[in-house]
Chain A
Amino acid sequence: MEERAHSAEHTHLQTHHHHSHTASSHHERGHHLLQVSSLSIGFRMYDPDAPYFAAEQRVSNVIEDLSISVHVGEIVAVVGASGSGKTLLADCIMGLYEPNALVTGEVWFDGQNMGADSLATVRGRAGGIALVPQSVSHLDPLMRVGKQVEGFSRRGEGSARAARRVKLFERYGLDESVGRMYPFELSGGMARRVLLCCALAGDPKLIIADEPTPGLDLDLAVKALEDFRAFADEGGGVMLITHDIELALRVADRVAVFRDGTIVEETSVESFASPDLLKHPFSKALWHALPEHDFSWAGAVEGSMQQGFGACVSAGGEKPSSVSGKEEA
């Protein structure tokens, strides 16, 4: 692990690498809590068009030259298209790579340059990084969920962890009997809450939340986000990866719009009040696509944003289309 200090570029605290600060966030000890710089992730794969035995390996890049940072006391929302590499980014910060992934770039956590090995030593630890995974398949199917939240403890601290688990379960409306259940017995929303409890129980410094709210009804989702807010205000940092912009805007300090493997726009939450304040066409398209607004996807296609949807532009015609279920009903 390299012990280089990461303070040199932060002498001017408010004017550096193209982001602004909110009142609550700051650079503790002169560095970011998390900084990812010029990260690229590619996958080695065999050329699918070549004949079977003659196929050469090539690299298909998924994330290119991505930089993002999280300060102490701050929630950064990463919103973006599905399939743009949001989950890959989360996995990368946790040091979890597919065997055929090629990762370049730097991840700094709490002033230290991290490699895959050193990331493995901080994940899930007190004062380290915790992940709220996107998929409920991250729960161990053969272990009671109460035990999964408590985790394995050293002698003497077991009761403290159990007490913490009971408190978290109570907060999220999970009955005590849920602790003795296995993951397959849980509903989607319950499993999601258990994953949240797992991350909060570990007393981390940074939480990477990868789509933490699907399957939660509005009250619970808001409660979860309020907990993230409280966690950040107490000196933690949260990277909230989500497509639920409305929810993200309620608690986040900054919003990074993610598309096709890179950040296209980093903006303050206030910019999402109106599409005119947003710069990038994809951010505007996201705003218009919300069910609360126009529920339309025409802007995204006209701006030739969705390469994969080329076929449906010709099929669907040029007129702007939006869903008008109410009129038909």
Chain B
Amino acid sequence: MLEAKNITFGYPGTKPLYDGFSIAVEPGERVALAAPSGAGKTTLCRLLAGFERPWKGDVLCDGQPLPRTGTCPVQLVGQHPELALDPRIRMSRSLEEAGEVPNELLSALGIRSEWMRRYPHELSGGELQRFCIARALAARPKYLIADEISTMLDAVTQAQIWSFLLEELDRKHMGLVFVSHSPALTKRLATRIVNVTTGKTTGT
């Protein structure tokens, strides 16, 4: 189980975004985070994936705090792929950061072999996002955090990538925490919705 227990966090010079906020995600669950723009959805994603440490409280994966070194069992795919990849290395090297990437994963995400030799600025936003997803899944996470991952994809690619991700989540029995501004997509995917400002849970 991935848990955030009574966390308090904010950025320097501002009032805390959350005060004693808790959330727990079981494997196999698909939890949507809902809140208005600027309320801290992305920050919560970063906290859950270990990119930020809470001021107070703990983030635990299966009862253990997130490891500070090595591969994190919680992987984050962010909302701006163009900022998530090193602009000075080729795509193949960016992928290697996660270790061995199975070929089936690449073909399922529609990553073409000729893209491997390119630099990030030579690919479109949607193409870059596929690499980010492949990199996150290749790290064999127990939980996947998806922060607006399909906003830069067209409808066809969005449907295709989510259908692949749902299969993958089922097969590996992973948990998913995701943010989406599309109510229709949230309704399709979520098993429950957590409001980040109030901490309340609703079904779909």
Which residues of A are in contact with B by a Cβ distance under 8 Å?
43, 48, 79-83, 86-87, 98, 134-137, 185, 187-190, 193, 211, 214-218, 220-221, 243, 245-246, 285-286, 289-292, 295-297, 300, 305-306, 308-309, 311-312, 315, 321-323, 325-326, 328-329
> CB-CB < 8 A to B204: which residues of A?
326, 329
Assembled-state Cα–Cα distance A180/B106 (Å):
43
Q: Which of B117, B162, B187 contacts A48 (CB 8 A)?
A: B117
Q: Which of A211, A216, A305 contacts B181 (CB 8 A)?
A: A216
Known: A48-B117, A291-B188, A309-B160. A220 touches B155 (CB 8 A): no
Assembled-state Cα–Cα distance A326/B189 (Å):
7
Using a CB-CB cutoff of 8 Å, which residues 148-204 of chain B contact chain A? 148, 151-160, 162-164, 166, 170, 181-185, 187-189, 191, 204
Assembled-state Cα–Cα distance A218/B155 (Å):
17
Distance in Å from the Cβ of A280 to the closest Cβ of chain B? 13
A285: nearest chain-B partner, CB-CB: B156
- Inter-subunit contact A221/B181 (CB<8 Å): yes
B108: nearest chain-A partner, CB-CB: A312
- Inter-subunit contact A185/B159 (CB<8 Å): no
Contact with A along B62-95 (1 / 0, CB 8 A): 0000000000000000011011000000000000
Which residues of B are in contact with A by a Cβ distance under 8 Å?
11, 30, 36-38, 40-42, 79-80, 82-83, 104, 107-108, 110-112, 114, 117, 121-127, 148, 151-160, 162-164, 166, 170, 181-185, 187-189, 191, 204
Assembled-state Cα–Cα distance A292/B182 (Å):
10
Distance in Å from the Cβ of A135 to the closest Cβ of chain B? 5
Assembled-state Cα–Cα distance A139/B162 (Å):
30
Number of A-B contacts (CB under 8 A): 152
- Inter-subunit contact B159/A289 (CB<8 Å): yes
Distance in Å from the Cβ of B61 to the closest Cβ of chain A? 23
Assembled-state Cα–Cα distance A33/B80 (Å):
32
Known: A82-B126, A135-B80, A295-B188. A323 touches B155 (CB 8 A): no
Known: A312-B108, A315-B104. A80 touches B80 (CB 8 A): no
Known: A190-B38, A286-B156. A215 touches B151 (CB 8 A): yes
21 A-B contacts, Cβ less than 8 Å apart? A48-B114, A81-B157, A82-B157, A135-B125, A136-B83, A188-B79, A188-B80, A189-B181, A193-B37, A214-B152, A243-B152, A243-B158, A286-B154, A291-B187, A295-B159, A295-B162, A295-B163, A295-B188, A311-B107, A323-B189, A326-B188
- Inter-subunit contact A325/B189 (CB<8 Å): yes
Q: Which of B111, B124, B184 contacts A291 (CB 8 A)?
A: B184
- Inter-subunit contact A323/B159 (CB<8 Å): yes
Q: Which of A137, A296, A311 contacts B82 (CB 8 A)?
A: A137
A83: nearest chain-B partner, CB-CB: B124
Shortest 7 CB-CB distances between A and B: which pairs? A82-B126, A189-B37, A311-B107, A214-B151, A291-B184, A243-B154, A289-B155
> CB-CB < 8 A to B111: which residues of A?
308
- Inter-subunit contact A321/B82 (CB<8 Å): no
